[in-house]
Structures are given as structure tokens and as C-alpha cells.
């Protein structure tokens, strides 16, 4: 009788993310195709939604952002970082120490319009972000009257494709028909145009 060793195998799931800059023509093509193939994100349906992010940075401009409750976010915007300590977690303590010792403060408020799609096959998620705008002086995250500046040409869209292990064939075919303009700039870096223009 032969001795057989039982081998244990593990499945490694690799989450992949690719980003492209696309033209208005390709945006419209992608929306038309994705509307038929994928499910709109539960948050925004077929009309999409706006996303707004407030970025904090240190006095020496080390990038950082931390999500907290609305009430605590208002406190942090006003410079009261002690509210982080009530969360009693390692990350909140780390954030408090980081923000106080490096003098973190709000530096950029970014907003953009998003159309998002999902598919259960390989946990696929595709987002198209356009009308990227920012302000580097008004940090009222919850205001309806922020005076934004355009950060990216309105005819440009940031396409993000996220999936586990494989990108299924229909999506590959759709993307192959687009003129993908290369890796887009980060939203945060784009919003720091004044810093780039005068300091670096």
C-alpha cells in the first residue's frame, strides 16, 4: 500500500486595478456598452453620483486622509484633532500623533462626478470619473455652495477597472475599442496645482 501525503492548497486572490484617461468620445462609447453589460452601482443607479473628498496634509506636504464621522470631520477641519482619540484604535491614535506632530491641516477639497458599474464575475468594478474640480481655500466638506476650480479638462474621464484574477472577455473587447490615453494623474496631485506651480 502506497503512502500518500495529503497536500494542502491555498487559493490566492489577486485584486488588480488599472487606470486610464479617456476622451469624451470613448466615455460615451463605454457608457453605452457598460449600461448593457454591467449593473449600475447601488449608490448612484444609471445617473451616477458626485464624490467629494477632503484631503489633509502635513506642513511638509506628506499626503494623508482619514475618514471619520461627519461631526468629527467638522472638528478635524477646525483643527480639533483630539476627537480622534475617542475611537480607541491603533490607527486613530496613529492619525492623531501624525496630524499633531506634522501639523496636518486641510489642503484640498476635491469633487467629481462618478458613474460606477459592478459585475459578480471576478468581483469586477468599473468607474468613470469626470468633471474633476477642486478648491484649495474653502474646506467646507458639507456645503452646497463651494466655489470649485476645474482640475481636469471636462472632455477627459478617469477610467478605473478593478477585478480579481481575471478581466472577463467582454470587458477586454470593449476596452480594446477605446483609445486609452495612458495613466491619469492622481486626483489629489491634480488638486495641488498651486503647490506644484510655486513650490516644486
Give me the residue spans of the domains in the chain: 18-53+112-199, 59-103
pLDDT of residue 70: 78
Q: Are 125 and 117 in contact (CB under 8 A)?
A: yes
End-to-end CA distance of the chain: 73
pLDDT lower than 70: segments of the chain: 1-13, 45-46, 55-68, 193-200
Q: Full-prediction pTM beyond 0.75? A: no
- Residue 63: the pLDDT is 41
Cα 84 to Cα 73: distance, rounded to the nearest angstrom: 10
What radius of gyration, in Å, describes the C-alpha atoms of the chain?
A: 21
How far is 197 from 2, CA to CA, in rounded Å? 73
Strand, helix or coil at 172?
helix
- pLDDT digit string (tens) for 45-102? 667 888 887 766 665 554 433 446 778 878 887 888 898 888 777 878 888 888 889 8
Could you tell me which residues come within 8 angstroms of residue 128 by beta carbon, excluding any fewer than 6 positions away?
Answer: 22, 27, 30, 31, 114, 115, 116, 157, 158, 159
Amino acid at each position: 500500500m502506497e503512502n500518500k501525503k495529503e497536500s494542502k492548497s491555498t487559493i490566492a486572490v489577486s485584486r488588480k486595478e488599472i487606470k486610464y484617461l479617456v476622451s469624451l468620445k470613448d466615455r460615451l462609447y463605454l457608457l453605452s456598452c457598460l449600461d448593457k453589460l454591467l449593473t449600475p452601482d447601488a449608490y448612484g443607479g444609471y445617473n451616477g453620483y458626485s464624490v467629494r473628498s477632503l484631503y489633509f496634509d502635513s506642513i511638509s506636504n506628506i499626503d494623508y486622509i482619514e475618514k471619520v464621522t461627519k461631526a468629527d470631520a467638522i472638528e478635524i477641519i477646525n483643527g480639533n484633532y483630539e476627537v480622534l482619540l475617542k475611537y480607541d484604535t491603533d490607527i486613530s491614535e496613529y492619525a492623531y500623533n501624525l496630524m499633531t506632530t506634522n501639523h496636518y491641516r486641510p489642503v484640498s477639497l476635491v469633487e467629481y462626478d462618478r458613474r460606477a458599474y459592478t459585475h459578480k464575475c471576478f468581483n469586477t468594478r468599473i468607474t468613470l470619473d469626470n468633471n474633476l474640480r477642486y478648491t484649495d481655500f474653502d474646506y467646507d466638506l458639507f456645503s452646497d455652495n463651494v466655489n470649485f476650480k476645474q482640475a481636469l479638462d471636462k472632455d477627459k474621464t478617469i477610467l478605473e477597472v478593478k477585478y480579481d484574477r481575471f478581466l472577463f472577455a467582454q470587458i477586454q473587447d470593449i476596452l480594446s475599442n477605446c483609445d486609452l490615453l495612458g495613466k491619469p494623474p492622481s486626483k489629489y496631485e491634480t488638486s495641488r496645482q498651486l503647490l506644484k506651480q510655486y513650490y516644486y
